[in-house]
Amino acid sequence: MRLGDTLVVASRAILRHKLRSFLTALGIIIGVAAVIAMVAIGEGAKARVAEAFESMGTNVLIVSSGSKTSSGAKAGSGSLPTLTWDDLGAVRSEVSDVRFVAPRVHASGQIVSEDRNWLTLITGTTPEMFEIRNWPAKLGAILTQEDVDGGAKNVVLGQTVAQNLFGASADPIGQTVRIQNVPFQVVGVAAAKGQSSGGNDYDDVVFIPVSTFLAKIQGSLQKYIPGTILIEVTNDDLTVEVAGRVAALLRDRHGIAPGREDDFSIKNLTETAARKEESTAALTLLLASIAAVSLVVGGIGIMNIMLVSVTERTREIGVRMAVGAKPRHILLQFLTEALVMALAGGLTGVALGFEAARRLAMKFGWPLLIRPEVIAIAVGFSALVGIVFGLYPAHKASRLDPILALRYE
Amino acid sequence: MAPEPLIQIADVKKTYRMGDVDVNALAGVSLEVVEGELVAIMGASGSGKSTLLNILGCLDRPSEGRYWLGGEEVSQLDAEALAETRNKRLGFVFQSFNLLARTTAVENVELPLVYAGVAPRLRRQRAIEALERVGLGDRLRHLPSQLSGGQQQRVAIARALVNEPRLILADEPTGNLDSRASVEMISLLQRLGDEGITVVLVTHEPDIAAYARRVIVVRDGLVDDDRRIEARRAS
């Protein structure tokens, strides 16, 4: 018997009961659609996280002032400044494999243009920060070392702030804005950075020279840095090692005896990124296994209907055997029927899952990531389900006694 | 010189197990059928005539005894080889036609060729020829539900003929037909006999058996009577 004939017989049997075949395949359709959509969502989320960390820079260390320990309860890091400007200088001059070091101090404040105002994050920093964060200017220029040295009242606006103060298309370079009643001249607009994985808008920010920040915005504890130190390591692979060197240097400078806790903390973005990716990978795996379970349930549905089909067509099987069908022909016929049904369900599921993933990706602004191997696995798995669950009914059909089958009413 | 027997069975027994009791459907039957013979097997229900036909048709294997078909022993073949024998050397006609529903006449006739692995084009050609042979050349695309009982049975005969077997086995072929269609059917079978095809049919109607050249009566699993008669001609 030819393969084409087997396929024709199987397709006809499936098309004879269209609704029943559709309902039977529905389990597989839903299972596969779920697999495709879930994996795509997982991958999209993972890529989004990776992208967010990429925009932060994966070879970046963030050093913040240590947590204050009082009677065992820890306040958040940065609650008591322990990092000094001298620490920053020491890191810059004494730790090797460090490309850039920049302070970053924050305050929330109102920024006012001629006719509008906006509450944003005011960041005091140095030109190195733009290098570390890989953050160029879209219009005008970034801050310069002269701005920092001279305490210039220059400001670089984040994209969101520029839009809210001057409108989307306006060129605010040279305009004057007031921050806490101090006039600043806009020298640049930073390129758009997007949102963080937590939904924070990176572009809702303005940058001013750190010296100006300390003099005009938040001038206290001049010896200490009321914020964090950003460090860019020359090479991704050295991130952890450099973190160790920085820690050793700071412990030494702060005179912390061995065994005592650090009075600062160093966040390694590479590690955080890896942890985030791990958790999304675990989520993907969980969702995929739920989908796999639904595929198995779909397979049971196929088996059920194939058993019904074999019983209904007992007489047909008898006729086929009487005219010369061998047991393996009958086996192959019913196996093909189960396989075709499962495969059709699988392909429909891929199409539906793809569409669902596309819509979700559009809605959440994720990249649409569907790897071809995921589709191959989903289709392959549904074929496997068809074969595994079609085997028993097909075997049962092939073992029928032709005489009894011919007499079956 | 007597023609070579197409069918030769020797002391064939068939025992079924029904619960705790063994039932002897055939208790030792020996007979020979030569080529071109039209043989009617008669007998009451439960006499074993259907069992005999099933064994002759290679649908069943004897519990004991031997069966040679065209000089080749087929009594010990496995399911696969029996299927091959049915496909290549035998044709079946059933009381209830047993055509595949929702399948056209020509596709029904093609079925044995499908399992013989014949290419689609050749298969179609041979199926059309077989249908023309039984006078249904104008009904190729009809479904069984669109055909009369007599026409359906003729499709079944075309299906039995399409692999050009030397033996056709018919189980009550006229059982579901009116008298006019029955006569048409039996004359068709007679014509096949004239062409050298051996036909063995089971019937309980003496009117039909009268068209055979030989009548075998089975009773209690044994041949009760076996005689040649002057066959009535339908036309």
Q: What is the interface pTM, i.e. ipTM, of the complex?
A: 0.94
What's the length of chain B? 235
Chain A residues with CB under 8 Å of B114 CB are 1-2, 5
- pLDDT band for A70, please (50, 70, 90 cuts): very low
| Predicted TM-score of the model (pTM) | 0.71
Per-residue model confidence (pLDDT) at position A76:
52
Q: How buried is residue A360: exposed, middle or buried, by Cβ count under 10 Å (0-12/13-18/19+)?
A: middle
Give dist(CA A325, CA B100) in Å, integer.
Answer: 14
Single-letter residue type at A247: A
Average pLDDT value for residue range B23-38: 92
Q: Considering CB atoms only, which of B54, B83, B120 is closest to A325?
A: B83
Average pLDDT value for residue range B218-230: 91
- pLDDT band for A197, please (50, 70, 90 cuts): low
- The answer, yes or no, to whether residue B169 has pLDDT greater than 80, is yes
Per-residue model confidence (pLDDT) at position A271:
67
Which of A1, A12, A323, A395 has the most B C-beta neighbours within 10 Å, making it the best mutation to test the interface with B?
Answer: A323
Give the Cβ contact number of residue A176 at 10 Å.
14
Hey, what domains does chain B have and what are their CATH numbers? 36-55+77-228 (3.40.50.300)
Chain A residues with CB under 8 Å of B86 CB are 321-324
Tell me if A2 and B114 make a contact (CB, 8 A cut-off): yes
Please tell me if residue B95 touches chain A, with a CB cutoff of 8 Å: no
Say which residue, A364 or A178, is predicted with more confidence: A178
- Chain A: residue nearest B80 by CA? A326
Tell me if A323 and B87 make a contact (CB, 8 A cut-off): yes
- The answer, yes or no, to whether residue B10 has pLDDT greater than 90, is yes
Q: How buried is residue A222: exposed, middle or buried, by Cβ count under 10 Å (0-12/13-18/19+)?
A: exposed
User: Tell me: the pLDDT tens digits for B182-210?
Assistant: 999 999 999 998 999 999 999 989 999 99
Say which residue, A258 or A22, is predicted with more confidence: A22
User: Tell me: the pLDDT tens digits for A371-395?
Assistant: 888 889 889 989 999 999 999 999 9
Q: What residues does A227 pair with on adjacent strands?
A: A105
Q: HEC string of chain A? A: CCHHHHHHHHHHHHHHCHHHHHHHHHHHHHHHHHHHHHHHHHHHHHHHHHHHHHHHCCCEEEEEECCCEECCEECCCCCCCCCEHHHHHHHHHHCCCEEEEEEEEEEEEEEECCCCEEEEEEEEECHHHHHHCCCCEEEECCCCHHHHHHCCCEEEECHHHHHHHHCCCCCCCCCEEEECCEEEEEEEEECCCCECCCCCECCCEEEEEHHHHHHHHCCCCCCECCEEEEEEECCHHHHHHHHHHHHHHHHHHHCCCCCCCCCEEEEEHHHHHHHHHHHHHHHHHHHHHHHHHHHHHHHHHHHHHHHHHHHHCHHHHHHHHHCCCCHHHHHHHHHHHHHHHHHHHHHHHHHHHHHHHHHHHHHHCCCCCCCHHHHHHHHHHHHHHHHHHHHHHHHHHHCCCHHHHHHCC
Average pLDDT value for residue range A17-44: 88
Tell me if B98 and A325 make a contact (CB, 8 A cut-off): no
Average pLDDT value for residue range A250-274: 81
pLDDT averaged over chain A? 85
- The answer, yes or no, to whether residue B25 has pLDDT greater than 80, is yes
